[in-house]
Amino acid sequence: GPKVGAPEAALQGFLKSMGITLDMCTQVDGYWYARKEIAGVATKSLLGGLIENLLANFPWPKSMRWPGSTIRWVRPIRHIVCVFGGEAQVIDIPSVGLKTQGYTVGHRFLAPQAITVGAFADYKAQLEKAYVIVDQNERKKMICDQVAVIAQKQQLTWIEDQKLLDEVVGLVEYPFALLGRIDDKFTHLPDIVLETAMRVHQRYFALETAPGKLAPYFVAIADMPEKPEMLRGYERVLQARLSDANFFYEQDLKHSLEKHDLGTIVFYTKLGTVAQKVERLQDLVKSDDAKRSAKLCKSDLMTQMVREFPELQGRTGEIYAEKQGESAAVAAAIREHYQPLGPNDECPSASASVELALADKIDTMVGFFGIGEIPSGSSDRYALRRAALGIIRLIRENELRDFDIQNLAYEAVAGYKKQGLALTHPNPTEAVYGFILERLAVALKAEGIRHDCFQAVKQRMDKIGPVAERARALHKFLETEAGQALFTAARRVSSILKDVPDEANLVNETLFAQAEENKLYEVIKALPERLVSLLSKHDYDQAMQALSETRGPVDAFFDKVTVNTDDPTLRQNRLALLHMLAALFTQVADFSQLEG
């Protein structure tokens, strides 16, 4: 309970929560203690409640409800094994209309007989004999090993796909890998179409004859040993998918990307059509390749291929653009303007691709922020955080130090207004820039950059490329002896000038009464030109090194010179000298934001 002598209300609250009186308490080491004995209960009597609680609260991405059940679960529950102390427990579980048992069953086709269970190790071992591998990591290893052996025998390479592998692991109890063949009449289709049909619709693994060249084979993972009719079935269903894809491909190529009517697709209810978005993108980009790419970048949304395989938007546009004679730069930008889609996705580097990707993401963010659809908490329905992180990566990885987010966002706002689309937010440009800065802070923190270093530099400039570089440089510099010297000097100056307004008074050299004043002034006079040169070249390390050289003169100044002297003229001159030095420090960072 509370300390002895604590307020009466705290003590009474403790007594009430325990259901006791003060005479039932004791004092130990200055605290009130209550001793309560809670009688144990048989574990068996708790099992039913534990199971009900588990069933009610176990999280599933998707779940269902079935007749006779009051809970939602990933699949209808048919059987529950419960063993405690080596004995089967028969417990009524009303929520699913079942009683627990002490037995389980093996593979539904290969070993459907009942298996009596005595302990978990026994449960796992017996199920493995009955063709059920309990541990998903073991199933994953079995799949990887089997696929690797098949690929090696065929002198092929397995295209590893971690997402597909994780999905397939959850679809089988005892994996068996089967090698199937793709009909030759479909090998003219683009590799990405073949691979997507296998991966997305059939969950087959693709193989390569060489890097980037798809082999006419696939590997399917079955829950049964291979039988001729099974393999023919796998090949037959893939052939049906590829027949559809082939039809879509041939039909799409009959129509020019430029001719598709994007005005029939709504981008978002309050943000116009996709055709209007394309118009805005053409205004936002500057180069000829980027403008041509902007005109065509959304056209593949109207193709039959993308309607069947939404995952191929962008990729389909690239393929059709190449077939229709567009330049390699334009075709690549059509695909790459969606990128990067996540932290592990490739970031574009070609100029037209980068230009269009930035314009597309900023136009989207300005639009949604402009109508008040701003991410909050874990809610981010329109992936605006991903767009912001994509913008950050595009700028940083392509070293676009002079890229001005606010200027492009302002142009995007003008584009919406030009089309008569009302943005109700009072300042979407500032809101978007602030949001991107927040994402940059998170990204830098994940890279190990001190948050206070980011806070110290973010107000010094309005372009996020240099903000990130300067925060990293400051973090690194502060770990050195010179960095600590700079920090100490800045703090000493800041401490003296706290609450002292900068009245923009000029320093008068003739008023210097001590050598330390002259020395500090000479050092300060030599710095501005040097700092401007270094900062213009984004050489933040050397700029900080130059500032750190003031540590000696600053220490000598404070040790020998009385700043707040009784002579008002001298005092004002000395404060002006320190304000002059503080202004140099703030060109690099706001050192008051740094933690000691």
Nearest to 360 by CA among 338, 329, 381: 338
The reported pLDDT for the residue numbered 492 is 86
- Strands 92-93 and 114-116 come out as unpaired
Q: How many residues does the chain have?
A: 596
Between CA 93 and CA 97, with CA 94 as vertex, the angle to 5 degrees is 90
| Average confidence (pLDDT) over 568-582 | 91
- Two structure tokens written together for 243: 């027949």
Q: What is the pLDDT of residues 434-459, one digit of tens each?
A: 999 999 999 999 999 999 999 999 87
Written as one letter, the residue type at 445 is K
| Average confidence (pLDDT) over 97-115 | 92
CA separation for the pair 223, 74 (Å, rounded): 20
- Please, are residues 373 and 340 in contact by the beta-carbon 8 Å criterion? no
Which of 40-44, 296-300, 462-466 has the highest mean predicted lDDT (pLDDT)? 296-300
Between CA 373 and CA 376, with CA 375 as vertex, the angle to 5 degrees is 120
Q: Annotate 480-516 with b (16+ C-beta within 10 A) or e (fewer).
A: eebbebbbebbebbbebbeeeeeeeeebeeeebeeeb
- Strands 176-181 and 205-210 come out as unpaired
- Please, are residues 44 and 84 in contact by the beta-carbon 8 Å criterion? yes
Q: What is the pLDDT of residues 361-371, one digit of tens each?
A: 999 999 999 99
- Please, are residues 100 and 91 in contact by the beta-carbon 8 Å criterion? yes
- Please, are residues 416 and 370 in contact by the beta-carbon 8 Å criterion? yes
What phi, psi does 416 have (nearest 5°)?
A: -65, -45
Among the listed ranges 139-153, 386-400, 538-552, which one has the minimum average pLDDT value?
Answer: 538-552
Is residue 477 pLDDT above 80, yes or no? yes
For residues 262, 263, 265 and 267, what is the CA-based torsion angle, rounded to 10 degrees? 100
Percentage of the chain with pLDDT > 70? 99
- Two structure tokens written together for 259: 């001719």
For residues 435, 440, 445 and 447, what is the CA-based torsion angle, rounded to 10 degrees? 150
The reported pLDDT for the residue numbered 83 is 93
| Average confidence (pLDDT) over 378-399 | 94
Q: pTM here?
A: 0.80
Torsional class of 354: left (φ above 0), alpha (ψ -120 to 50), beta (otherwise): alpha
- Confidence class for position 461, pLDDT limits 50, 70, 90: low
Q: Where are the beta strands (DSSP E) in 56-156?
A: 83-84, 87-88, 92-93, 98-99, 103-105, 114-116
Q: What is the pLDDT of residues 260-316, one digit of tens each?
A: 999 999 999 999 999 999 999 999 999 999 999 999 999 999 999 999 999 999 999
The reported pLDDT for the residue numbered 460 is 56
CA separation for the pair 543, 482 (Å, rounded): 12
pLDDT, the chain, mean: 92
- Please, are residues 107 and 115 in contact by the beta-carbon 8 Å criterion? no
- Confidence class for position 503, pLDDT limits 50, 70, 90: confident
The reported pLDDT for the residue numbered 66 is 87
Is residue 522 pLDDT above 90, yes or no? yes
Nearest to 489 by CA among 584, 571, 424: 584
CA separation for the pair 422, 425 (Å, rounded): 9
| Average confidence (pLDDT) over 218-242 | 92
